[in-house]
Amino acid sequence: MVKKLVSGIIGLMPLPLTLVAVANKGNVPDVFTASWVGVLCTDPLYIGVGIGAGSYSHELIEDNGEFTVNVMQEGFVREMDRLGSTSGRDFDKFEQARLTPHPAKEVKAPTVLEAAISIECKVQDVVRLGSHDFYIGRALATHVDESVLDGDKINVEELRPVSYAADSYWSIGRKLGQVGSGLE
Ligand SMILES: Cc1cc2nc3c(=O)[nH]c(=O)nc-3n(C[C@H](O)[C@H](O)[C@H](O)COP(=O)(O)O)c2cc1C
């Protein structure tokens, strides 16, 4: 194996493809495509999201400190692609994507009604990094559509989430094994 030193490549992949929604004062919430998203702590659950400093959602989250992370099924990949290049400064992005803002339980930011999973988060801390600021959100509520649940677990084959890697969208592939099974 010959490894080349590279720059300008995000080597961490795949990343989750999600929709992050933020409330605004005028009642037209914003929603944008986000892959710089991850689980930071499981108990209590914390979700981090990197938000571009010039974006409209950045302006809104600075104002109200709340967001929701929404996991969409692969049938929504077109909408997610579109919501990753238009700004809520110019459009009502929910309307543009024909998605429905739905009142959350614990935060003012809406969830996306069509999402299979929505996680309501309250910003606890912000790390100022550069092109993006990193928002550390305490998860206050998680909503999961019954159709993707198998008891208390998510059925990934039903969920059909989308991943992002190397400027492309991907569906999840073959299951390799169960955690803790030794994969023998
Ligand atoms: C695949 C993909 C992933 C993206 N991930 C992020 C992200 O994690 N954070 C971010 O701030 N912008 C991300 N973007 C860009 C925003 O979605 C884009 O800047 C959007 O227009 C911001 O909308 P707003 O101005 O309404 O906030 C991503 C775009 C795409 C296409």
Examine residue 39 and state whether it is found in any structural domain, yes or no: yes
The CATH number of the domain holding residue 34 is 2.30.110.10
Provide the pLDDT for residue 184. 55
Distances (CA, A) of 141 to 6, 11, 36, 41, 86: 40, 31, 20, 15, 28
For the chain, how many structural domains are there in total? 1
Examine residue 178 and state whether it is found in any structural domain, yes or no: no
Query: To test the ligand 1 pocket, which listed residue (55, 68, 79, 162) has its Cβ within 8 A of the most ligand atoms?
Result: 55
Closest residue CA from atom 31 of ligand 1? 84
Q: In which domain, by residue range, is 118 found?
A: 15-171
Examine residue 54 and state whether it is found in any structural domain, yes or no: yes
Provide the pLDDT for residue 125. 98
Examine residue 153 and state whether it is found in any structural domain, yes or no: yes
Instruction: For residues 96-108, give the mean pLDDT.
Output: 97
For residue 19, with 0-12 CB atoms within 10 Å meaning exposed, 13-18 middle and 19 or more buried, which class applies? Answer: buried
pTM value is 0.97
Question: Which tokens go with 68?
Answer: 């929701």
Examine residue 5 and state whether it is found in any structural domain, yes or no: no
Measure 89 CA to ligand 1 centroid, in angstroms. 13
Examine residue 4 and state whether it is found in any structural domain, yes or no: no
User: Ligand 1: which atom is nearest the Cα of residue 32?
Assistant: 17
Q: Are 19 and 101 in contact (CB under 8 A)?
A: no
Instruction: For residues 154-158, give the mean pLDDT.
Output: 97
Task: Express each pLDDT in 8-28 by its tens digit.
Answer: 999 999 999 999 999 998 779
Mean pLDDT of the chain: 96
Provide the pLDDT for residue 137. 98
Examine residue 136 and state whether it is found in any structural domain, yes or no: yes
For residue 62, with 0-12 CB atoms within 10 Å meaning exposed, 13-18 middle and 19 or more buried, which class applies? Answer: middle
Task: Express each pLDDT in 40-92 by its tens digit.
Answer: 999 999 999 999 999 999 999 999 999 999 999 999 999 999 999 999 999 99
Examine residue 89 and state whether it is found in any structural domain, yes or no: yes
